[in-house]
């Protein structure tokens, strides 16, 4: 069941060196976890094996797959860092350490500030591959959630997966991973809604498939007649959780949703995509407002396809998606395919493929990286490098510019808190107000009615919000402030 050959067969570029790395990691992980069992009683090794297999399926490189095998060894103290470096080199260990660090992040108050939590997660990961290993790790955990003894925890893990993990997979354009994470988490997060959605989908998709089959037969003949070569047609059934989200927007009315089952046509060129669209509209009447050209205007995560919805003429309505095979694999693998290129040190980027802007920026930035420690920067995540994400004691995330101080934090929470800072704790320790905050800090502000801002604070603020509020306070209380200054001194910490 857990044979390394299976992984090697899936691997995209299994040259001798890559097979050696992966096999060595397989053996080391197998030995390290040999005595461990999961909560469900299964051998622990199955968890890391499945993580590595998911990474191989995403066409990730050998080092990433190796790190997938070894991702729990450091945290569990099964192999020392020194031994790992000796055996696998710094790059693999950097990835393992990143995954370990990410695992320690707690998502207190998940329902609040989820967008900031996602950013914190990405910023902490530092490297795309760390992020993807963590997603693959989570996928196996959520697939085996049944074995978790606590119902409350099962629910929390499932919701966290839907709120934090799958949106990141989506952002990275890895549609397959996003869908798998969501559909495995959905029944545990919202059991009732899951049941209802499943029933609706089953009834609806049966009817829909009947219409689709007719459309497909007609279309195949027509495509052959018009000499469109290599066109393949297929169904895609809408993923359960994404259907649920759409139902929520439509008062749970399934008849408003036309893409429960969609016909998917894959052709070889972009020109053929538009020709096929023309052929379809020539035979069937399209629903107005439902034609979407994601080829000319890709979605932010890079997704490309043409979508149209047609009246089948006998009462049915069917969505059709048209794309090239390249767009198809891009939609499934997203950034993962670009990373494999990078790890293999292939100088070519992803060819003429159109990348999402943020990926392009990332790749451009990497080209300019020189000097020592290069591999660390190789696939470094840069888009949040100017931000820090810190927690309130309640677990809310506050998103601040880099080099922000406790004063900036206090004003970001509330003007009153900023105007009455008496002292502060960072990670439970007293800290002076000019302390610069770093990612993941938990910041607690102690206020006093008698405490007030001083103009000295302006030296320690980074945000315009804090600067403005302090100036406003001074303007309002200017004369009072001067008179109070000797008193205020007692409250100042620097």
Please report, as ranges, the residues that interact with Mn ion according to CB under 5 A: 72, 137
- Cβ proximity to Mn ion, 72 vs 441, nearer residue: 72
Name beta bridge partners: 319.
262, 309
Min CB(181)–Mn ion separation in Å: 14
- Cβ proximity to Mn ion, 54 vs 337, nearer residue: 54
Min CB(157)–Mn ion separation in Å: 12
- Cβ proximity to Mn ion, 70 vs 273, nearer residue: 70
- Cβ proximity to Mn ion, 54 vs 208, nearer residue: 54
In degrees and rounded to multiples of 5, residue 268 shows phi and psi of -95, -25
- Cβ proximity to Mn ion, 169 vs 212, nearer residue: 169
Name beta bridge partners: 233.
265
| 230: region left, alpha or beta (phi > 0 left; psi from -120 to 50 alpha) | left
- The conformation of residue 68, written as its DSSP 8-state character, comes to H
Catalytic residue among 3, 6, 42, 76: 76
Can 76 be counted among the known catalytic residues?
Answer: yes
Spatial contact of 71 and 133, defined as CB atoms under 8 Å apart: yes
Task: Decide: helix, strand or coil at residue 296.
Answer: coil
Task: Decide: helix, strand or coil at residue 466.
Answer: helix
Min CB(385)–Mn ion separation in Å: 27
- Cβ proximity to Mn ion, 97 vs 137, nearer residue: 137
- Cβ proximity to Mn ion, 142 vs 262, nearer residue: 142
Please name which of 397, 389, 365 lies closest in space to residue 379, comparing C-alpha atoms. 365
Min CB(99)–Mn ion separation in Å: 8
Min CB(171)–Mn ion separation in Å: 22
What is the 3-state secondary structure of 364-384? HHHHCCCCCCHHHHHCECCCC
Strands 285-286 and 387-391, bridge-based pairing: unpaired
Burial of residue 150 (number of CB atoms within 10 Å: 0-12, 13-18, 19+): exposed
Position of minimal CB gap to Mn ion? 137
Beta strands in 312-357 (DSSP E): 317-324
Distances (CA, A) of 277 to 256, 271, 291: 23, 10, 10
Catalytic residue among 75, 87, 293, 402: 75
Please name which of 373, 396, 398, 379 lies closest in space to residue 387, comparing C-alpha atoms. 398
Residues 6 or more apart whose Cβ sits within 8 Å of residue 165: 134, 135, 138, 181
Min CB(423)–Mn ion separation in Å: 40
What b-and-e string marks burial along 85-124, b requiring 16 or more CB atoms within 10 Å of the CB? Answer: eebbeebbbbbbbbbbbbeebebeebeebbebbbbbbbbb
Positions marked catalytic: 75-76
């Amino acid at each position: 069941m857990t044979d390394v050959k299976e992984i090697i067969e899936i691997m995209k570029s299994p040259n001798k060196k890559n097979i050696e790395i992966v096999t060595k990691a397989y053996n080391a992980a197998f030995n390290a976890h040999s005595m461990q069992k999961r909560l469900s009683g299964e051998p622990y090794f199955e968890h890391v094996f499945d993580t590595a297999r998911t990474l191989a399926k995403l066409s990730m490189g050998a080092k990433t797959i190796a790190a997938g095998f070894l991702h729990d060894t450091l945290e569990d103290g099964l192999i020392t860092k020194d031994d790992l470096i000796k055996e696998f080199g710094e790059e693999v260990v950097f990835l393992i350490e990143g995954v370990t660090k990410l695992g320690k992040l707690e998502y207190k108050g998940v329902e609040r500030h989820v967008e900031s939590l996602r950013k914190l997660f990405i910023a902490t990961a530092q490297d795309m591959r760390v992020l993807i290993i963590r997603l693959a790790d989570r996928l196996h955990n959520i697939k085996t959630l049944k074995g978790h003894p606590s119902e409350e925890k099962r629910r929390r893990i499932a919701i966290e997966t839907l709120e934090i993990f799958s949106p990141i997979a989506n952002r990275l354009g890895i549609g397959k991973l996003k869908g798998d994470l969501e559909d495995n988490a959905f029944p545990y997060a919202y059991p009732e809604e899951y049941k209802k959605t499943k029933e609706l989908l089953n009834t609806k998709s049966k009817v829909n498939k009947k219409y689709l089959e007719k459309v497909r037969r007609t279309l195949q003949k027509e495509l052959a007649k018009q000499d469109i070569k290599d066109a393949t047609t297929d169904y895609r059934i809408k993923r359960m959780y994404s259907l649920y989200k759409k139902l929520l927007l439509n008062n749970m009315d399934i008849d408003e949703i036309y893409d429960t089952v969609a016909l998917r046509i894959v052709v070889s060129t972009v020109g053929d995509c538009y020709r096929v669209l023309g052929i379809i509209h020539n035979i069937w009447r399209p629903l107005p407002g439902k034609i979407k050209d994601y080829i000319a205007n890709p979605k932010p995560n890079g997704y490309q396809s043409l979508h149209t919805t047609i009246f089948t003429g006998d009462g049915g309505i069917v969505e059709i998606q048209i794309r090239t095979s390249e767009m198809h694999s891009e939609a499934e693998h997203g950034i993962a395919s670009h990373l494999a290129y990078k790890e293999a040190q292939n100088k070519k980027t992803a060819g003429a493929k159109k990348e999402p802007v943020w990926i392009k920026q990332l790749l451009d930035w990497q080209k300019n990286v020189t000097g020592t420690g290069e591999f660390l920067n190789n696939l470094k995540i840069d888009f949040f490098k100017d931000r820090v994400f810190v927690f309130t004691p309640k677990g809310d995330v506050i998103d601040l510019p880099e080099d922000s101080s406790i004063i900036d934090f206090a004003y970001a929470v509330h003007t009153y808190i900023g105007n009455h800072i008496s002292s502060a704790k960072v990670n439970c320790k007293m800290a002076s107000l000019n302390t610069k905050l770093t990612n993941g800090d938990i910041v607690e502000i102690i206020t006093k009615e008698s405490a007030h801002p001083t103009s000295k604070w302006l030296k320690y603020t980074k945000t315009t919000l804090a600067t403005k509020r302090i100036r406003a306070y001074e303007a309002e209380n200017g004369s009072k402030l001067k008179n109070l200054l000797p008193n205020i001194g007692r409250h100042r910490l620097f």
